Structure 1
Amino acid sequence: MSEPQTADHAAKLRAYYAQFGIDVNDLLKEKLVLADRHIRLNPAFDGDETLKLLQTELPPDSKYPHPISWLHKSFGFYSLPGDFRLSQSSCYKEGRIYGQEVSSGAAVAALLSTHCDRIKGNDSPQVPLRILDLCCAPGLKLCAISDYLRKNVLSDNSEEATVIGVDCSESRLSTCRKIIEKHQVVPYIGSKEGKSIRIRLYNNDGTMFGSEPTNLIFDSSVCMEQRLHDEGRKRRNRSAKGRERKRLKELVDVDRQASQAGESSLSHVPVKLFDRVLVDVECSTDGSLKHVRRQLAKQAGVFVGTTKPETSESLSIPVLTDEEELRRLVDLQRSLLSNGFRLLKKGGHLVYSTCSLSEDQNEGVVKWLLDTYPSQASVIELSFDWSGVNGCEEQGWNEILKEGSIPGTVRFVPKLSSNNNMESSRILSDSGFFLAKIAKV
């Protein structure tokens, strides 16, 4: 990239963040105080016990863990200090907690309940439910979906719900599987909940899923069969992995035969349609200030925290400042959202989300869908109401949660403050996020 072009991109980047009250140069200051980090309790463990264990890992006078009061308690989100070393926590190692931003939890809450709807409705969805997470890796939202269903929807029902995750990256799906197994999202053999929920992972292009042969790489029922077969063994051998691949192929063949027999909701779609669809698309990830700081510091040749950073005069995030790259990204987002909407049943709900602040990637994509399907798609207005909720105003949520330019859509706005001595800055909120809830008529 030539020097004039680089300078132009840097100027555009500074202007982009300035509209949100953020000076890019502040992100490159040597000292940075981190915002609170968020966790979600794993309902496979006793919540009170987990909180007590967490308190032993914090200073005696700590106010943490602090509940996220504006999000319904059934989703189990709490805040911890920004410098809390999650990877060294025994609660994290044991799978008692997930490291998950509350903004992504809000997307799951919007998808599965009416707690967040501006006009409240019935919070007892009919079962069996079919839910699609179209861009699922690394799997934290998929686990949140499965945990909520198991705890709040299916506990007293003998029916089975199916949660399907799709991603184009096999390596990221491998991470997803490890998270599922670590946190016991798939119940162990003998659990009374063993038949209440079924999880499947497909390695497919999300823009084409449902229009091409599926590549099933994980099924929770097969996983439980293998656990029973391998019980007592320290590690799975090659023959065990071969048996699993064979069983997965058999399941794909059964699905294909059902589709050919006309049991699919649409003859040209080799999967049944879904009651709920989450489309958390690939984006520029510019909403996370910690992520942007690492990205810009790398470009500047700076090791954050050890070397005095340079200015942002030569820095850029091309997908935000290059019109052609942005257009390609928006086209991908439109394709993913369109396919997710195609796979949604009439009367079903879809949530579209990104961790970008870009209106092109957010309201622009939602408006495109509404214009493309004017008689089928409509926005269900969301409202995360913190008024009167203890602690929310003190924590600044009234400045972080905003309505998008389309009424009823929601933006989480990151916030950054700078000290006058020009040596340090503080991230007040790192939850740059957008979500919209859409109904199919």
Structure 2
Amino acid sequence: MEVLEDNDNNMKAWLTQAPKLTTFRVNKLKRFEVDVLKNFLIAQSKELDTTELPEFYFLRPDCLVLGPWPAVSLKKAGKEVIVDALCAAAVLRGAHVFAPGVMGLPVNCQLGERVDIYGDLEGHCKRGLKVEYTGRKLYVGTGYLKMLRADLFDNGIQPSGIAVHTILPASKLPVVNETIYSKGEVLLQNLPSIVCGWVMDAKPNECILDMCAAPGNKTTHLAEMSNDQATIIALDKTPQKAAKIRESCDIQGVTCVTAYAFDSTKCCSEDSIGINSGPPFPPNSFDKVLLDGPCSGLGQRPQLVNKITPKMISSYKFVQRKLFAEAVKVLKVGGKLVYSTCTITDEENEGIVAWALEKFPCLTLIPAEPIVGGTGLPNKGLNDTQRSMVQRFGPEDNELRKVDPIYRDSIGFFIAAFTKSS
């Protein structure tokens, strides 16, 4: 967190903590039964020796919120599994420990034995460690051992599969994911990312461009919102990413999306004959454009380790501006452009909005409705009216509007919406 100012201690603390809630996006194209989740939690409650279940409820028909376990605690087992920082962060969000994330494991452990999971905060633990790790570490949860040292370190090949079955993260979040349902019925997705889909508000028969679409989570949300009746073009730079978008669409049961491997900084051309021929596209082609572009990702939580530098952060605005310029070109007059990031820096958020309003007189900032997040930051290029039109998700106090706690405890995120007048 060295990139944050010294007076951002509240933000630093917030970023290192896991959100207190888990959110699922519910696929409205498929049948969903909430009792599947309830029965799964009942089974987990027996494992945790409690009769109280986490609270769960629908925020909207396509958004299910799941709270932490109430009044549950486990004594530490005494044997430590060391995992890398990314794996530790995933455990705090309610994930199992997968084999590639394991760095150290005592030699005397048995399959099925309860172990404590610790994250290596320095990145100094050497893979295959047999003794207790003495570097900076953080307890992130407890679980049952599913793989031994021979499986993890001694085969000479990259291991795969669940190494530790997490039963209770230190965050108390339930260990649950979309695999408890049939494929495509639900998707684990951060709440502001779901809100981004609500702001886009995809409708049947609209022509929509998702400029940086992989892995396809927002793309499929737009398709589902349109009842799979929009025409959605999804772009990303590599064939692998385009394939991932197609895979996401297949899983979600979406058919109205066409994915291309293409650089969106070059997605508009006067010489193009139409969107049906693929990118690049003619100017004024799309009713709506989503630009959820590359960013520094500083809104992700929990961030146990972050090595990004100020120079790296400053580099993102250049590609964001290139993408934005193309988005304006391909957007129809009267259309909607939604810009979003999963970062907290004003340079990539309010700064891009202020730049766009000055650079493109044809654009008008409009309220990014439904407005549920906080306002934009003050003194970062936007006046109070403009600040109230964008949404910033984070722990900041908002003097211009009150924000429900649920929207202050997800990840750092930013959403702005524009319309084109000429």
- Relative to the length of structure 1, the TM-score reads 0.59
Distance 2:185 2:14 in 1: 38
* 2:26 corresponds to 1:41: yes
Is 1:287 paired with 2:274? no
Q: Does 1:15 align with 2:1?
A: no
Are 1:353 and 2:365 an aligned pair? no
Q: Shift of the alpha carbon at 1:57? A: 1.0
Task: Give the structure, 1 or 2, with the largest relative contact order (CA under 8 Å, sep 6 or more).
Answer: 1
Q: After superposition, give the CA deviation of every residue in 1:197-230 in whole Å (9 maximum; x if it has no partner).
A: x21101011111133999xxxxxxxxxxxxxxxx
| Cα deviation 1:345-394 (Å, max 9, x = unaligned) | 000001000001000000111111110112x10111235566xxxxxxxx
User: Structure 2: any 5+ residue segments left out of the alignment?
Assistant: 43-50, 69-92, 94-172, 397-407
- Distance of 1:358 and 1:168 partners within structure 2: 24
Q: Say whether 1:101 aligns with 2:190.
A: yes
Matched residue, 1:392: none
1:148 aligns with 2:148: no
Spell out, residue by residue over 1:232-261, the C-alpha distance to the aligned partner (whole angstroms, 9 max, x if none).
xxxxxxxxxxxxxxxxxxx999728xx9xx
User: Matches of 2:338 and 2:227 in 1, distance apart?
Assistant: 20
Structure 1 match to 2:277? 255
Tell me the residue number matched to 2:38.
Answer: 55
In 2: Cα distance, 1:360 partner to 1:100 partner: 25
- Cα 1:269–1:181 shift into 2, 3 Å: closer
> Which of 201, 210, 213 in structure 2 is aligned with 1:112?
201
Q: Which runs of 4+ in 1 moved over 4 A?
A: 251-254, 268-272, 383-386
CA displacement, residues 142-193 of structure 1 (integer Å, 9 cap, x when unaligned): 0000000017xx5xxxxxx31010011322222222221112123xxxxxxx
Q: Which residue of 1 aligns with 2:237?
A: 168
Gap change, CA 1:403 and 1:34, over 3 Å in 2: closer
Equivalent position of 2:308 in the other structure: 317
Is 1:413 matched with 2:403? no
Partner of 2:141: none
Please name the residue that 1:205 is paired with. Answer: 263
* Paired AA for residue 139 in structure 1: G
Structure 1, unaligned stretches of length 5 or more? 1-9, 114-124, 155-160, 187-197, 215-250, 260-267, 297-315, 387-400, 416-427
Structure with the higher fraction of residues in helix conformation: 1
Aligned to 2:374: 402
> Amino acid of the residue matched to residue 132 of structure 1?
L
- The SS at the match of 1:13 is coil
SS of alignment partner, residue 21 of structure 1: helix
Contact (CA 8 Å) 1:281, 1:333: kept in 2 or not?
Answer: yes
Say whether the 8 Å CA contact 1:287–1:430 is kept in structure 2.
no
Secondary structure at the aligned position of 2:290 is classed as strand
Partner deviation per Cα, 1:3-51 (whole Å, 9 max, x = no partner): xxxxxxx7x52426x4361346993xxxx6652121011112223x2x1
What is the TM-score with the length of structure 2 in the denominator?
Answer: 0.62
Q: Is the 8 A contact 1:55 1:64 kept in 2?
A: no
Letter in 1 for 2:174: F
Identity %: 23
Pairs aligned (count): 291
- Whole-Å Cα distance in 1 between the matches of residues 19 and 63 of structure 2? 22
